[in-house]
Amino acid sequence: METTVRNKKTLAEQTADRLTETIMNAEFKKGQQLPSEFQLAEKLDVGRGTIREAIKILISRHVVEIKRGTGTFVAEKPGQVEDPLGLAFIKDKKKLSMDLYEMRLMIEPQIASLAARRVTKEGMMKLEASLQAIEENIAKGMPWTDEDIAFHETIAEASGNQLASTLIPIIHSAVKVFAYLYGKPLTETTIATHREIMDAIRAKDPERAEIAMRNHLQRNKVYAEHLRETAGENA
Amino acid sequence: METTVRNKKTLAEQTADRLTETIMNAEFKKGQQLPSEFQLAEKLDVGRGTIREAIKILISRHVVEIKRGTGTFVAEKPGQVEDPLGLAFIKDKKKLSMDLYEMRLMIEPQIASLAARRVTKEGMMKLEASLQAIEENIAKGMPWTDEDIAFHETIAEASGNQLASTLIPIIHSAVKVFAYLYGKPLTETTIATHREIMDAIRAKDPERAEIAMRNHLQRNKVYAEHLRETAGENA
């Protein structure tokens, strides 16, 4: 059956599939530059025109991307578009902002709990580095939104659930773009609640990690609501 | 600031943005055919070449799609690609299958609980129709995977959380594509556990809805694991 389906595809599509496989096998790694058209044509034993067509297909599938003047690269997140959930098309951004918090409260405490169960030594080191990066930026008075996102992403990775590590960055990017005042809640509270989450994960205490994450999110949510109300309807 | 950014865009990009706005305002609805290039050019007061360029941009953003021989249509889910999470690029599909169940267990019981709190009369009618469609297909010995997905989607809609109604179809489509034996668990159990979820939502009992959904998913998960084990490593 696989063969029948495959035979209906053009040579360029077949070539695109073969290139996708090399990326899935990590022969070409995420973010890595692809070899030249000439080299790819030799490697896959097809013409350069076919390679060019195949690359176009992979661009449309967001598997590779062109960086002008440098070449073609494997995407950092192959197959993922910038706003994969199409949230830009949700019109009521105020409600979306609340929905994002509600979703985070559904999912992140449980992810923290899984992280406490499954975190590895390397994961723990990454988490500590990530927390330190936030605190350093806060101390220097610099923005720390991206470091904050990285902290939550690292917890999702530590959870060992691949869906979690795919979804959390997407949800957090959406929070950054669509929600009110991400990254501006009281910094002292943030430092304390982040530390509490990390300590619970280090102690491999799932319940404590879950509660710590819930507290952290609740505080941010309440703060965001408060700011929104004081800013009024037009904020 | 908005203006500065906008001025850096080409006329085609600006036109694409304006068309996107008309879609967001539901002037052009999801799935609807767009007016002709000529009409759009008149409406937006730009040349037909600009309209053509703008449409190309919107195709690459998955906002509109060409149906050969018929015309250009607003996408059913504007901005969303087929596999928005790029799950096809996760190599270990067996683990992905378990991760999908784990994620469903994190998120769907809470969504059911929200649905019990917030369901409207129309939502309840939709849910009943959706459950009936599953049972009819089961009775006729027909496949009912899509009806099953629709049932869980309807619950997500009833939850009132837009993230939930975006994510659930994505997760369920992934289950259909990547997980083992979706839609083949014991039909009698499925009928009973689905009914229990619906009754709890109708009774507006959040705790009972949460537990019913957890039971439903646990049973399916156990059954999928069992089938996988009996099928062996090569299944």
What pLDDT shows up at residue A78? 74
The span from the CA of A52 to the CA of A48, in Å, is 6
Residue carrying the six token digits 């689905």: B194
Backbone angles phi, psi at B207, to 5 degrees: -65, -45
The per-residue pLDDT for A7 is: 47
CA distance B135 to chain A (A): 30
SS3 breakdown of chain B: % helix, strand, coil, rounded to 5?
70, 5, 25
For residue B9, give every residue at least 6 positions away whose Cβ sits within 8 Å of its Cβ, in sequence order, or none. B17
Across A7-18, average pLDDT: 81
SS3 A65: strand
- Look at the domain B2-74 and name its fold: Arc Repressor Mutant, subunit A (1.10.10)
Count helices and strands in chain B by DSSP H and E runs: 10, 2
Residue with the larger pLDDT of the pair B167 and A143: B167
Specify the DSSP class assigned to residue A35.
Answer: P
**Mean of per-residue pLDDT scores for chain B:** 84
Q: Write the CA distances from A80 to A64, A75, A155, A181, B62, integer angstroms.
A: 10, 8, 21, 26, 12
- CB pair distance less than 8 Å for B163 and A170: no
Q: How far is B176 from chain A (nearest CA, A)?
A: 15
**Residues 6 or more apart whose Cβ sits within 8 Å of residue A52:** A37
pLDDT above 60 (res A75): yes
**A-chain residues near B166 (CB < 8 A):** 85-87
Q: Is the pLDDT of residue B2 over 70?
A: no
Cα angle B214-B96-B133, degrees, rounded to a multiple of 5? 50
Residue A35 clears pLDDT 70, i.e. is over it: yes
Boundaries of every domain in chain B: 2-74, 87-231
pLDDT at A222: 78
Rounded Cα–Cα distance for residues B235 and B222 (Å): 17
CB A85 to CB B88 under 8 A?
Answer: no
Any idea what the Cα angle at residue B174 is, between residues B170 and B175, rounded to 5°? 115
Question: Residue A187 — very low, low, confident or very high, per pLDDT cuts 50/70/90?
Answer: confident
Answer with the residue of higher pLDDT: B5 or B216: B216
Q: What is the C-alpha separation between B171 and B164, in angstroms, rounded? A: 10
Q: Is the pLDDT of residue B55 over 60?
A: yes
Tokens describing residue A226: 């408060």
B118-127 pLDDT, tens digit per residue, is 999 999 999 9
The whole-number pLDDT of residue A131 equals: 94
- Listing DSSP states for B181-212 in one string gives TTT-S-HHHHHHHHHHHHHHHHTT-HHHHHHH
pLDDT in tens, B71-89: 899 888 777 666 788 787 7
Torsion sign over Cα B73, B74, B77, B82 = positive
A36 vs chain B: nearest CA distance in angstroms? 23
Share of chain B above pLDDT 90, in %: 40
- Give A21→chain B minimum CA distance, Å: 9
Tell me yes or no: is domain B87-231 CATH 1.20.120.530.
yes
Mutate to test the interface with B, among A56, A74, A80, A89 (most CBs of B within 10 A): A89
Contact by Cβ (8 Å): A150, A165: no
Distance of CA A171 to the CA centre of its chain: 8
What is the tens place of the pLDDT at every residue in A85-126? 878 777 787 888 889 989 999 999 999 999 999 999 999 999
pLDDT at A189 over 80: no
pLDDT score at B89: 76
What pLDDT is stored for residue A108 in this prediction?
A: 96
Q: Which pLDDT score is estimated for B3?
A: 38
Q: Both tokens of residue A103?
A: 């979703």
pLDDT band of residue B108 (cuts 50, 70, 90) is very high
Average pLDDT, chain A: 84
User: d(Cα A75, Cα A58) in Å, to the nearest integer?
Assistant: 10
Residue B232 has pLDDT above 80, yes or no: no
The answer to whether the CB atoms of B163 and A60 lie below 8 A apart is no
Cβ neighbours of B58 in A, within 8 Å: none
Which one of B78, B84, B89 has the shortest CB-CB distance to A81? B84
Mean pLDDT of A146-173: 92
